[in-house]
Amino acid sequence: MTGNNKIFVFISLLLAVFILNGCLGSKTPQAVQYTEEDAIPYKIAVLPAEYIVHAENSTVHKSILVMDEDSKFVADITRSAITNQLAGKGFMPLQKDVVDNILAGLGRDEGWRAMSDADICKALHADGIVKINISSADMIKAVAFDLFQLDAEVTMVNAEGTLVGKWSDSASKRRVSVPTGIFALAGTIVEEVFSDPIRRQMRMVVYDWAWNMAQMLPDCPKGPKLPEVISVDTNVDNRLFGVGRRITVRVDAEPGLKCSFDIGEFKKTIPLPQTGQGVYEGFYVVREGDKGVNESLMVRMRKANGVERLWVESASLITLDGTLPPRPESVESRAGRDGVVLTWKVPPAGDLEEFIVEKADDSVGDFEVIARAKETSFTDSEVLQGATVFYRVRTVDKAGNLSPVNGVIKVVVPQFDERELFGELFGVLVKGNYLVAVPVVVPEGAKFTIQPGTRIRFEHGARIDVLGEFESLGEISSPVRFESDGTEGLKVLAGAKAVISQCEFSGFSKAYTAVGGYSEIRSSRFSGGKYAVLVDSTGNYDFKGLRISGVHTGLILGAGNGTLLRSSISNCTVGLEFRGGSAEIKDNNIFDNYTNILSPAKLVIADNYLGTASVDSLKVKGDVLVKSILDAPYPHGRKIILIDDTPITPELLEERFTLLKGQGIKAFHNQHYGDAYQLLNQAIRLKDDRDIYLYLSYTLLALSDDLALTEVLSEGISKYPYDVRLHQLCIRNLLNKGEIRQARQVLEKALVLSPADSNLLYMKDYLDQLTAKSEPSERVRSQGNATAVPSTEKLQKPNEVETESKVKSEAENKIDEKDFPKSLNTESSGEALKVE
């Protein structure tokens, strides 16, 4: 036999026993002979109800009361019910407290029980007494079975000790629900949970019994005819009432009465309007701040002629507690794979009963109680990964009062398992692990927000195109991570907006590309891959606190307007490449790159650390004007001024260019080739000039710096492709290196530009002679620089010499040391640096 079947059989047998027991308890009401009307007392005392002790072998049904306090409750409510019924029949019952105090003073042990009825009346100053003897009482509330039963006898004696009457009756309430199976039993249990409290049901049985007794009791001829009451139904058995709880009263009495009820001295005359024929109902809701201890409930009923009757619920005293308990302290949350763990601390209070945990899907929505806890923690396992939930934790005192709300705890449950993103992105992406396997898009008009601690992995061919608004705001301790193995990352298109903070990008071919719109990147890291950040089109950008390392090109600014501030770019092939637009580049650390800054377009920068305090080691290439540098990484470096921070006008730039050019040419003619190189190199940064490219080439030729000479000639020919003189120098340089074939290619291009140039024709004859020899190019290479190459003088055209002499003369006439600005004042050794 299974465990469930055993339970079912056991309950069935138990029900059978209870039903038989209940059947034995039925009894026919009895009445006795009444005495004469003059013998009926007026002022009476109702003595405490007592239980009849039956012999063990007696067949009389015995009481089934589980707890001792239940026995006292039944005795007290029986006494109270008879007292109220006697008052309604014209008697004047003495107050219960007065009677009990006098009886308590009549001695211990047997005390008043050993006294005669007449002596008891005399001691109580009463015209008579009423005794209640309970033969049996049952208060049974079990699964599938209820039994509430009272069998009692009432005896009335006057002051002379004469028996006025003796009456007995019984009242009961039974409920039997026999389950036919284990599922029916479960339904019965659920029904039991929602049924009335046990004492309330017993109270109603006692009131039925007292009503039946009142039909047999005589009316007191000495008292007024009071309103007739059938029953008074209240919820005073709850005893303790907190804020928001109702104290309810229902009276079944004769119609046409004016009824109200009092809660001790706390609240008087609470109305009980008539809601039906002879039915009066009302309630009081406990408010915050209410306070009442052990208050009795009294119902007042008044006839139209002014006759009033009191019904006192003296068996149960009630307490009103309108003081809210303090809030829980230090409520915290932690989301994990197993759910959300909430913890808190117990506030200082003496009457706390428990804590309740409330949950909602919205911070201002309806919160549902999901747990009642005695401890200071709770784990909600009914949450999904990626969900956003809201919690409240509140204290509950013994009166059922709830503490005020101590704020709402918002919890975003991470997506612990990797989840793929696809299609259109919008809304909030909660913390978790995600995969982008194909291109996805933030559509125009939508906003997509990534929460801190999120990790997004990009597979080959995937990227995120931003047409709307993109926001990824990590935290120092919880950054947003974007990871790839050579694919694109984010692409911000025209009209879009992207704001990124505390993010980490690694392994992308193009981590972040802006082809328009607005881009804001703050305190984010880029590592590995080819390009970190590219601005390829018009738009605005604001880059601050970038950390770029270990990529081919750190940052490309191709267009647009913006700022690059307080960032670090290191360990790259090219740190910063500037192609155009307008940019403020300041307070950055761009160092330890093969080339720190590369700029085909004109770029002016200041106050950056470029890895050195030496001007010759800045690793800057292209059209870059460095106004000042830092001698150590920002923010600790000191500023070294290379060019005064005087407002730079086109006129001033032209003046500086002319001075540097003239002094460079002068140094060349004086055979100070090192000074000539520095001066001419500074001049070319201020302005492109074909003569400077010529003199730089001659200078490097004299210095035998083949690598630098090749770069200068290549750059000069790219900017002045129709200048024959640069081609001539390029041919000479190639011949010096033994590169006959390359030299002939350049010569052929130069002859197209100037077919009658005597120098070019001379070179052509020379190359033809070399080609005609039996060991053409190989022998030339083996001889290296010893190859007989036409001299520099021979290669000069007459007009070239004339130009050179003219430039030399102009420079010598214009050069005057006092005309140089301080920061440009140069000696033969180079620049004089000014340090702030």
How far is the CA of 388 from the CAs of 409, 414, 428, 430, in angstroms?
11, 9, 10, 8
**Is 298 part of any domain?**
no
pTM assigned to the model: 0.46
The confidence score (pLDDT) of residue 415 equals 79
**pLDDT tens by residue, 211-222:** 888 888 888 888
Last residue of a domain, one of 623, 651, 679: 651
User: Domain limits at 453?
Assistant: 416-651
Lowest mean pLDDT among 183-192, 319-328, 446-455, 555-564: 183-192
**Is 320 part of any domain?**
no
pLDDT of 762 above 70: yes
Q: Give the mean pLDDT of 162-184.
A: 70
Same domain, 562 and 686: no
pLDDT of 370 above 90: yes
- CA neighbor of 457 nearest in space, from 425, 428, 480, 491: 480
pLDDT of 752 above 70: yes
Q: Give the mean pLDDT of 312-337.
A: 87
Number of domains in the chain: 4
Same domain, 594 and 579: yes
- CA neighbor of 735 nearest in space, from 761, 705, 766: 766
Q: Give the mean pLDDT of 189-216.
A: 74
Last residue of a domain, one of 367, 397, 412: 412
Tell which wins on pLDDT, 327 or 65.
327
pLDDT of 23 above 80: no
The answer for 470, left when phi > 0, alpha when psi is -120 to 50, beta otherwise, is beta
The confidence score (pLDDT) of residue 819 equals 30
Lowest mean pLDDT among 71-75, 523-527, 800-804: 800-804
**pLDDT tens by residue, 597-621:** 999 999 999 999 999 888 878 999 9
The confidence score (pLDDT) of residue 338 equals 85
**Any idea what the CATH number is for the domain that residue 182 is in?**
3.40.50.10610
pLDDT-derived band at 796 (thresholds 50, 70, 90) equals very low
382 burial type by CB count under 10 A (0-12 exposed, 13-18 middle, 19+ buried): exposed
Q: What distance in Å separates the CA atoms of residue 62 and residue 56, rounded to the nearest whole number?
A: 9
- CA neighbor of 603 nearest in space, from 586, 625, 585: 625
Same domain, 184 and 152: yes
The confidence score (pLDDT) of residue 421 equals 94
| Tokens coding 364 | 């201002």
Same domain, 13 and 132: yes
- Most confident option among 103-107, 181-185, 368-372: 368-372
**pLDDT tens by residue, 636-688:** 889 988 876 566 677 888 888 899 999 999 999 999 998 999 899 888 888 88
Percent pLDDT > 70 in the chain is 82
The confidence score (pLDDT) of residue 58 equals 66
**pLDDT tens by residue, 392-419:** 999 999 888 999 987 899 998 887 888 9
pLDDT of 18 above 50: no
Q: Give the mean pLDDT of 149-160.
A: 93
Q: What distance in Å separates the CA atoms of residue 227 and residue 249, rounded to the nearest whole number?
A: 17
The confidence score (pLDDT) of residue 767 equals 85
The confidence score (pLDDT) of residue 225 equals 79
Q: Give the mean pLDDT of 60-86.
A: 80
Same domain, 721 and 592: no
Same domain, 128 and 69: yes
**Is 234 part of any domain?**
no
pLDDT-derived band at 258 (thresholds 50, 70, 90) equals very high
pLDDT-derived band at 354 (thresholds 50, 70, 90) equals very high
Q: Give the mean pLDDT of 574-590.
A: 94
How many other CB atoms are there within 10 angstroms of residue 168's CB atom? Answer: 19
pLDDT of 29 above 70: no
Tell which wins on pLDDT, 805 or 619.
619
pLDDT of 321 above 50: yes
**Is 277 part of any domain?**
no
pLDDT of 185 above 50: no
The confidence score (pLDDT) of residue 34 equals 53
Which DSSP letter does residue 787 get? S
Tell which wins on pLDDT, 54 or 547.
547
**pLDDT tens by residue, 468-481:** 999 999 999 899 99
Q: Supply the DSSP string of 291-359, one letter for each residue.
A: EEEEEEEEEEEE-TTS-EEEEEEEEEEEEEE-PPPPPPEEEEEEEETTEEEEEEE--S-S-EEEEEEEE
- CA neighbor of 131 nearest in space, from 63, 169, 82, 171: 82
- Most confident option among 231-240, 397-406, 553-562: 553-562
The confidence score (pLDDT) of residue 661 equals 92
**Is 577 part of any domain?**
yes
Last residue of a domain, one of 166, 189, 223: 223
- Quote the mean pLDDT of the chain: 82
**pLDDT tens by residue, 721-745:** 888 898 888 988 888 888 888 888 8
The confidence score (pLDDT) of residue 758 equals 87
**Is 305 part of any domain?**
no
- Phi, psi (degrees; rounded to nearest 5) at 811: -65, -45
The confidence score (pLDDT) of residue 173 equals 78
pLDDT of 535 above 60: yes
Same domain, 613 and 492: yes
pLDDT-derived band at 448 (thresholds 50, 70, 90) equals very high
Q: Are 301 and 332 in contact (CB under 8 A)?
A: no
Lowest mean pLDDT among 252-261, 375-384, 406-415: 406-415
Q: What distance in Å separates the CA atoms of residue 310 and residue 299, rounded to the nearest whole number?
A: 6
Same domain, 408 and 452: no
The confidence score (pLDDT) of residue 496 equals 96
The confidence score (pLDDT) of residue 823 equals 29
Same domain, 773 and 745: yes
**pLDDT tens by residue, 268-315:** 999 999 999 999 999 999 999 999 998 989 999 999 888 888 888 866
pLDDT of 795 above 90: no
| Tokens coding 406 | 């101590």
Same domain, 445 and 405: no
**Is 692 part of any domain?**
yes
**Is 322 part of any domain?**
no
- Phi, psi (degrees; rounded to nearest 5) at 244: 90, -15
**Any idea what the CATH number is for the domain that residue 783 is in?**
1.25.40.10
Q: CB-based contacts of 230: which residues, under 8 Å, 6+ apart?
A: 211, 252, 253, 278
DSSP E strands: which ranges in 43-144? 43-46, 50-51, 92-93, 128-142
The confidence score (pLDDT) of residue 63 equals 63
Lowest mean pLDDT among 624-638, 733-747, 766-780, 796-810: 796-810
Same domain, 445 and 589: yes
* C-alpha triplet 668, 674, 679: angle, nearest 5°: 70
DSSP-derived pairing of the beta strands 128-142 and 145-158: antiparallel
The confidence score (pLDDT) of residue 671 equals 92
Give me the amino acid identity at 750. A
Same domain, 215 and 354: no
**Any idea what the CATH number is for the domain that residue 341 is in?**
2.60.40.10
